[in-house]
Structure 1
């Protein structure tokens, strides 16, 4: 098994893959070609020793991958828009000249902040507010167990809801292609669709599993913090104080969850690990679908480019950085 870290995500009609020093986003266009964009990317956790420490690296990596993920989604959206414009020009008998769209760093940052704001409101504040209606604020463990259950339930409802949308079914199939390709690579298999298709579309290091680990780990951390607050002040925290404390501790929760996820990837055959990752793998039955061979091809191209592997004989069109 290659001793190289690789991860990724599905995008619009494609897959993004990342290695220790590169990010590659491959997108299938109507002509059958695969457009691919490769960027050099070295994590802050690799460039700064302090940021590479356990727990801290998890929080930093979480923020980095939000930026990388949204940037890759924007690229795939730009490709989709370009193809629509190309088709419109062809219908009108006009020559199409593709315009290179420059990335807007400010817009990217604003998108990340907005995404985090919506996520925090729905998956952190709302569970606290609903749990407060039960008048169990003084029972730290009970309160956070209920909040954690609501948090997980909201997440499952969210992914189930979007899985019903037609466009997302293809995205989830590309998600499955991403997992199969990574599994095949980690197993040392030949990266061709005929071999890759045999591997599981559910991967223990998936971001879906990470989110569930965050929800479970949060119950422990937040129960401790709420108990300490009650001991120090003599009363349970109010809703807004509790939310502020939990929000401040979110980097710790994310960092600790990241370490647990890394550990699960290294000890995936352990009985304990299998029990811990089982809920995440189950959720992936919703967030991944069986990919077609052409979708697997796209994932393979992205993986090969990210890892610097000699590419297969596929129709690939590189996009200037």
Structure 2
């Protein structure tokens, strides 16, 4: 059974048979929460649709786990209004920084509005802003700890996928880099978006506002295509030309993951064990093999 996961504040979210969140509390104890079960209707397995659905599931439980992990780790309850404000602020910043700003900068740089060239320049600016953003936040201590939990999540899933008896010592020998990481998906997504927008822009004349709207509308399409490419890469196990798809994400994972300490690995193990069940046979259950392809 494939499992997915994400790093959160002082903890790890694992999505498998169940959705499980483990967080290290201020007193040092690990608290494990059951966030529910993921349902995969038949239509959610349709190629190109399944990628967007998987991304939606990851975002839904990721936001829920992020808010809950903040409360558990700090011991303070967040108000519903605070959660809503944080969500709207995050969406606003994402749209502003990675959609509106690249378009406005490209308007300034590209004098002749040839849409194909425009989309290429805009795409490079978007990728550059994203990399700059990740680098800047990686300098903050709290974010570095999240990146350590990200590494713990990857290492623990590696150990699980290799049929290991999950313990700190067995997990520590694995890499923090994982081919199914959402970072790989995101880098492929950014590249696919450039290609799709370039094709779209070459046949449709757009204004600044319709460009912003078109980018938002094409997001699900780009996500679906990117997911299928990631599945091809996983199926071929990174051999041959597929290495090119993995390379940008692998390089970025060296920034978004870090070697965890033993206490962080313990949290990741607790989350995974609860999500798959203590007595889960790591090689026997294939019923939901494709349930979660993406890691956080």
Q: TM-score range with shorter-chain normalisation?
A: 0.7 to 0.9
Match for residue 289 of structure 2? Answer: none
Match for residue 109 of structure 2? Answer: 134
TM-score normalized with structure 2 length: 0.87
Match for residue 25 of structure 1? Answer: 21
Match for residue 67 of structure 1? Answer: 60
User: Does the Cα contact within 8 Å between 1:136 and 1:143 map onto a contact in 2?
Assistant: no
User: Does the Cα contact within 8 Å between 2:177 and 2:250 map onto a contact in 1?
Assistant: yes
Whether 1:283 and 2:252 are equivalent positions in the alignment is yes
**Matches of 2:220 and 2:253 in 1, distance apart?**
25
**Matches of 1:269 and 1:217 in 2, distance apart?**
18
**Matches of 2:79 and 2:169 in 1, distance apart?**
36
Question: How many Å apart are 1:301 and its aligned residue?
Answer: 0.9
Unmatched segments (≥5 aa) in structure 2: 281-296
Mapping of 1:155-304 within 5 angstroms?
155-229=130-204, 236-304=205-273
Q: Spell out, residue by residue over 1:213-271, the C-alpha distance to the aligned partner (whole angstroms, 9 max, x if none).
A: 11100011111111121xxxxxx322222222222111111121122223323323312
Residues 238 and 137 of structure 1, relative CA distance in 2, 3 Å threshold? farther
**Matches of 1:268 and 1:303 in 2, distance apart?**
23
Unmatched segments (≥5 aa) in structure 1: 86-100, 230-235, 312-321
Match for residue 40 of structure 1? Answer: 36
**Matches of 1:150 and 1:16 in 2, distance apart?**
32
User: Does the Cα contact within 8 Å between 1:123 and 1:151 map onto a contact in 2?
Assistant: yes
Whether 1:8 and 2:1 are equivalent positions in the alignment is no
Residues 165 and 193 of structure 1, relative CA distance in 2, 3 Å threshold? same
Residues 244 and 137 of structure 1, relative CA distance in 2, 3 Å threshold? farther
Question: How many Å apart are 1:189 and its aligned residue?
Answer: 2.1
Worse overlay, 31-40 or 112-121: 112-121
Aligned residues: 280
Q: Which entry has the higher C-alpha Rg, 1 or 2?
A: 1
Q: Secondary structure at the match of 2:241?
A: helix
Mapping of 1:120-131 within 5 angstroms?
120-131=95-106
Q: Spell out, residue by residue over 1:188-208, the C-alpha distance to the aligned partner (whole angstroms, 9 max, x if none).
A: 222111111111101122122
TM-score normalized with structure 1 length: 0.80
**Matches of 1:176 and 1:244 in 2, distance apart?**
36
Match for residue 292 of structure 2? Answer: none
User: Does the Cα contact within 8 Å between 1:70 and 1:108 map onto a contact in 2?
Assistant: no
Mapping of 1:95-106 within 5 angstroms?
104=80
